Amino acid sequence: MCVCVCACGISGLFPVHLYFCAGILNGMSQLLLVLDQSEVRKIIKNCNGVREYIKVAEHVETLEEQATFAKNLTPGLTTTTRQVC
């Protein structure tokens, strides 16, 4: 068995060291997956809010109402665009 030192400064016997690094990578992978799922839930929540607000368009009749509708819709669409892109 060979002794090695990784970039993080941990040294040890190769198989034990490899097992330790695999555990770290597995933990980080699980953390990133949870964060990704959280971000997806945020995007879906925002999209649902925008979708619900779009239903208001059926009741818009005047030019003032159209301006208000667009003004109120813009932040939700901007947030969704930033989250997705």
DSSP bridge pairs for 3: 13
The predicted pLDDT at position 71 comes to: 92
pLDDT digits (tens), the chain, 85 positions: 444 455 555 555 555 556 666 677 777 777 777 778 888 888 888 888 888 888 888 888 899 998 998 899 899 888 888 887 7
Contact 35, 54 (CB under 8 A): no
| CA dist., res. 53 & res. 39, Å (int) | 21
3-state DSSP helix/strand/coil % of the chain, to nearest 5? 80, 5, 15
44 Cα distance to chain centroid: 10
Domain range annotation of the chain: 3-84
pLDDT value of residue 15: 59
- pLDDT of 46: 87
